[in-house]
C-alpha cells in the first residue's frame, strides 16, 4: 500500500474516538466517532500516538476493503501537524515501541460492541462494551463465527496488556461463557516449496471390451 499516491485516493474526514491496539499494544488502527474503522500498519504506531489524541480531527487517504467497511490508510493528515504516510516498515524493520504498562493472564466476560478487521477485511478482533479490545488470529474468527456477533456475550481467556490508551487481550480461548471456553487452535502449517501435496489415488478405469 505504501506505493500508492495518497493525493489520488478517496478521503475520509472524521474525529478520532480511540486507538485500536494489536496484541503487542501497538496501534494498528483508529476508530472514528462515527464508527468508521481505519487500519494503519503497526510501524506507524509511535508517529500516530505523538500526532493524535482522541477528539482530534483528521483526514484519512485510503482504500476500502471488499470484505468489510474497513478503510486501509495510506496517509493520515492530522488537523494540526504533518502528514503521516505509510512508506513501509523501513530497511531495518524496527519494532514499534509499545506503550505497555503491565500485562497479566486474565479471563474476561463481556458483550461484543463491534467486530474489528485486518487489512484484508477479515475479522480478527472484537471491541467489548466495557472498552476492552480482544484480538485473535483470522482462523480463530472462522472457528468461533457463531458467537462473534454484535450484542452477543463473549468470554475470553488470554494475556492482557493495559495501556493509557485502553486494554487489549490476546485471546487464547473463547466461548459464550467461562464454562464453555474453548482453546483457539493453531492453523495448519503451510507446505514448503519443496513439499508436494499428497495425491489422491483414483481407482483404475475399466474399459468395456471391444
CA pair distance 169, 116, nearest whole angstrom: 13
Do 157 and 106 contact (CB within 8 A), yes or no?
A: yes
pLDDT of residue 195: 57
Residues 40 and 78 in one domain: yes
pLDDT in tens, 163-208: 999 999 999 999 999 999 999 998 766 656 555 555 555 665 655 5
Is residue 60 included in any domain, yes or no?
Answer: yes
Number of domains observed in the structure of the chain: 2
Domain boundary among 28, 51, 85: 85
pLDDT in tens, 65-107: 998 999 999 999 999 889 999 998 876 545 545 444 456 899 9
Measured distance between the N- and C-terminal CA atoms of the chain, rounded to whole angstroms: 63
Q: Cell 502528514 identifies what position?
A: 83
Do 79 and 56 contact (CB within 8 A), yes or no?
A: yes
Is residue 195 included in any domain, yes or no?
Answer: no
Query: For residue 169, what are the domain limits?
Result: 102-183
Strand, coil or helix: 74:
strand
Q: Who's near 76: CB < 8 A, 6+ residues apart? A: 30, 38, 40, 48, 51, 52, 58, 59, 60, 61, 83, 84
Q: Cell 490508551 identifies what position?
A: 165
Residues 114 and 143 in one domain: yes
What's 31's domain CATH number? 2.40.50.140
Q: Give the predicted TM-score (pTM) of the model.
A: 0.82
Amino acid at each position: 500500500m505504501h506505493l500508492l499516491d495518497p493525493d489520488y485516493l478517496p478521503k475520509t474526514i472524521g474525529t478520532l474516538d480511540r486507538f485500536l491496539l494489536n496484541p503487542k499494544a501497538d496501534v494498528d488502527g483508529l476508530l472514528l466517532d462515527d464508527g468508521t474503522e481505519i487500519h494503519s500498519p503497526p510501524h506507524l504506531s509511535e508517529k500516530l500516538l505523538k500526532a493524535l489524541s482522541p477528539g482530534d480531527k483528521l483526514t484519512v487517504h485510503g482504500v476500502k476493503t471488499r470484505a468489510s467497511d474497513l478503510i486501509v490508510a495510506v496517509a493520515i493528515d492530522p488537523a494540526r501537524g504533518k502528514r503521516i504516510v505509510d512508506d513501509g516498515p523501513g530497511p531495518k524493520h524496527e519494532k514499534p515501541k509499545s506503550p505497555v504498562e503491565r500485562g497479566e493472564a486474565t479471563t474476561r466476560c463481556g458483550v461484543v460492541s463491534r467486530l474489528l478487521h485486518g487489512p484484508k477485511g477479515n475479522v480478527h478482533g472484537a471491541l467489548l462494551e466495557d472498552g476492552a479490545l480482544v484480538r485473535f488470529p483470522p482462523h480463530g474468527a472462522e472457528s468461533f463465527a457463531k458467537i462473534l456477533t454484535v450484542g452477543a456475550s463473549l468470554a475470553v481467556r488470554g494475556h492482557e496488556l493495559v495501556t493509557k490508551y485502553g486494554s487489549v487481550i490476546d485471546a487464547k480461548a473463547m466461548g459464550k461463557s467461562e464454562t464453555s471456553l474453548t482453546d483457539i487452535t493453531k492453523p495448519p502449517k503451510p507446505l514448503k516449496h519443496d513439499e508436494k501435496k499428497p495425491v489422491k489415488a483414483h481407482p483404475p478405469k475399466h474399459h468395456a471390451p471391444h
